[in-house]
Amino acid sequence: MDGSSDNKPFAFWSLASRYLARMPKRMHVAVLSVFLLIIAFQLIVRPASPMMWSQPQEQQRSSCAGFFGRGWGLPRRAVVMSITEFGGVGDGRTSNTAAFRRAVGYMQGLAGRGGAQLNVPSGVWLTGSFNVTSNFTLFLEEGAFILGSQNPEEWPIIQPLPSYGRGRERLGGRHISLIHGDGLTDVVITGNNGTVDGQGKTWWDLWWNRTLEHTRGHLLEVMNSEDVMISNLTFRNSPFWTIHPVYCRNVVIKDMTVLAPLNAPNTDGIDPDSSTNVCIEDCYIESGDDLVAVKSGWDQYGIAAARPSANIIIRRISGTTPTCSGVGIGSEMSGGVSNITIEDLHVWDCAAGVRIKTDIGRGGYIANITMNNITMERVKIPIRFSRGSNDHPDDAWDPKAVPSVKGIRISNVVTINSTKAPVLEGVKDSPFEGICLWNISLLGSSPTAQWHCEYISGFSSAVSPSVCSELQSNDSVRSCL
């Protein structure tokens, strides 16, 4: 993982060096002066941790993995067995669907007797969908590859989520995820950097060819569960959203690599959905959609379910997506989203750096969002609030259901060579309030680039180039302190 974001001044200097290399030498002194002033300002306005310059990196690096009061070392299970003991064959051709289901079925009976761990050794293990269970660890050893079956019948159809009312892409049910869990406690999916590959191209072709009958499955979905840890694995080529905890609490997702072709449709990296107490940290993601997206239900179904996403920390995420954002909130946010912290984000070649997405009909709320220490390179629009997707589950959506958005704090942002200035568009009948910006530098943008703001209000300080008038209100200063 890229640890440069742990020491912002040094990461900033690295970016400055690359930027200067592209400029005429006669401009170096002026630009260096700007860089040094920005660094000095960052150190003044942001409190430094004790011994900031002398602490070893390991001590400076904090973790949110135990932020809800529980340690996250790997639990010791009473029984440890291999998939080979249940008839598994890792030759890349033999179907292991029955072996995985048999193994988990057996281990389900051990949940109350110290739990169980299922090891997947080095090899290529082809399988259809299988469930995990409580008090359970799925451990992929080094060199282990779980391959998702390309036969849609091995991804059965299940009921749509209540907060969505239908499949996200098609009416009716949806394909189950490759690895799935519902109503569980104490689930660990980890390993020694093993790989889960959804072989998603079959599904992407169905989407591109408009022959998809049911919504595609995720690579991993855990529902209605608590105390879930997902770590130290590579997930790749998901048919749809890659990691999807929904209606969960106490979830840790860390040290993950998530990969998909940059044109693979809707292959979001990590999407916490109607979930609380979630820690996402130290992950590298390349995808055809948002790297991380916080969700909470879709229009009238999300409003009725009233299952918010709250108390979520997203930190030290790096990666790229040419079509979407580094971290997004929404657009499915009808159950409410609050108390979200996004920090130490490094993204490049993205359509947007950070983005809040909503619309009329969504209802719900987005509140108390903090974004801090963000570095972007060649991002088209660094900060974006967007509306007007006209994306609704059916004709029963309520045009009077407008979202409430307030308390968005964004600070310590550096973007190099963005195509446009930020675009901040609220909703006409429900303006976004309490938008607070500090210490934001857009370097290398077009001299004509201007902030675009509609239906928002707030306050800004130390932002270059100058922001729109809607963010220069002295009346908003108190709400930003």
Strands 234-236 and 257-259, how do they pair?
A: parallel
Q: What residue has token string 């998901």?
A: 238
Contact (CB, 8 A) for 278 and 311: yes
Q: What residue has token string 């974004």?
A: 371
Q: What is the maximal distance between C-alpha atoms in the chain? A: 73
CA distances from 346 to 68, 332, 372 (A): 26, 24, 11
CA–CA dist 295, 73 (Å, integer):
28
What stretches of 282-396 show up as alpha helix (H) in DSSP?
A: 299-305
* Active site members: 289
